[in-house]
Amino acid sequence: MSRAREWGRGIPPRRVDLSVRIGSLELRNPVLTASGTFGYGDEYAHVVDLRRLGGIVTKTVTVRPRPGNAPTRIAETAGGMLNSIGLENVGLARFRSEKLPRLAELKATVIASVGGETEDELAELLEALGAEPGVAAFEINFSCPNVAAGGARYWASPSRLEATMRRLRPLSPRPLIAKLSPDVTDIRDTARACEAGGADALTAVNTFVGMSIDLDRMRSRLGRATGGLSGPAIKPLALARCHEAAHAVGIPVIGSGGVAGGRDALEFIAAGAAAVQIGTATFVEPAVAVRVVDEMREWLASHGITRVADFRGTFAAPAAQGCAPADARELAEDRP
């Protein structure tokens, strides 16, 4: 019998409860927009009713404004895109004085993404913004592949992550979400380090380091040699990292990478994610996140599932299906 049959009879979509908890934060549904792909949110308010989303994760803000990397910053690839934006952002002062008041007017649930080249810089950001009433939670960007300092490689060290989270945790009463890079030997190590340091949740994952060469000009298609790969091309990779991270820690994990429809989102939830983020798909369809909410609701209703929270982690690890490679067996043994 197929797994779907076990879920029972359909129910009206309006009966499905999509609310989820991320630490102390209750979200009306598990769909968030991903940092850097939805501006600061207000730019999209004329096409998307932000109140219909679980929340928006704003563009990573740093203490000082950053101009970002030299062009070219975007290149299309098969099933995805490479970017080397390099954390262009308005800086802390303008984020606080211009962006947060505008988002409060729009009644969006705001998760502010913060980034720093050092632990000190992250501490400065949280000291300044930690008690802002307009910020529901913080996402700490430990995973940007496109900056020369303080990027994914710098933050790939579990001991550095743990020490930094320990220092940041007391600086805000809001949930702190650590956003992880997929480009590490074992994401379980970085996930557990953040949890040990006091993270309330994780986001898995940021973009994968990638390259594209224009052979005729023998030049990178980006202004830098490498960029971050995102979009449908990375979904299977991101799903695997998210599944691993979710089974390694007790805190909620938010899935990110290639989500473009309700079924994609539900794959992440089945793999153990509490919520998902949508990034690149927004460039093709600005209101995609709202469609994803509706599609999730309909799929769950048609399978008789009344609470998305009950669907979380329902995918049984391949070991249980008797076809596991060694790593997946090891993963199943690690389950709490």
Binding residues (CB under 6 A) for ligand FMN: these are 34-37, 59-60, 83, 85, 87, 113, 141, 144, 179, 206-207, 230-231, 234, 256-259, 278-281
Q: Which amino acid is at 149?
A: A
Please report how close the Cβ of residue 12 comes to ligand FMN at its closest, in angstroms: 30
Catalytic residue check, 144:
yes
Q: How far apart are CA 275 and CA 253, in angstroms?
A: 7
Please report how close the Cβ of residue 178 comes to ligand FMN at its closest, in angstroms: 11
3-state secondary structure of 155: helix
- How many CB atoms sit inside 10 A of residue 316's CB? 11
233 or 305, CB closer to ligand FMN? 233
Please report how close the Cβ of residue 258 comes to ligand FMN at its closest, in angstroms: 4
Catalytic residue among 144, 194, 242, 323: 144
Sequence-separated contacts (24+) of 35-39 with Cβ below 8 Å: 35/59, 35/60, 35/113, 35/139, 35/141, 35/179, 35/277, 35/279, 36/60, 36/85, 36/113, 36/279, 37/278, 37/279, 37/280, 37/282, 37/283, 38/279, 38/282
Give the helix/strand (H/E) hosting 238. Answer: helix 235-248
125 or 317, CB closer to ligand FMN? 125
Q: How far apart are CA 22 and CA 32, in angstroms?
A: 12
Q: How far apart are CA 246 and CA 239, in angstroms?
A: 10
Q: By CB neighbour count within 10 A (0-12 exposed, 13-18 middle, 19+ buried), where does 251 fall?
A: buried
34 or 193, CB closer to ligand FMN? 34
Please report how close the Cβ of residue 293 comes to ligand FMN at its closest, in angstroms: 15
34 or 122, CB closer to ligand FMN? 34
Please report how close the Cβ of residue 79 comes to ligand FMN at its closest, in angstroms: 10
The angle at the Cα of 58, spanning 247 to 16, to the nearest 5 degrees, equals 55
243 or 303, CB closer to ligand FMN? 243
- Name every residue whose Cβ is closer than 8 Å to that of residue 93 and which is 6 or more positions away in sequence: none
Please report how close the Cβ of residue 206 comes to ligand FMN at its closest, in angstroms: 5
DSSP state of 17: B
Q: How far apart are CA 310 and CA 313, in angstroms?
A: 8
172 or 230, CB closer to ligand FMN? 230
Catalytic residues: 144
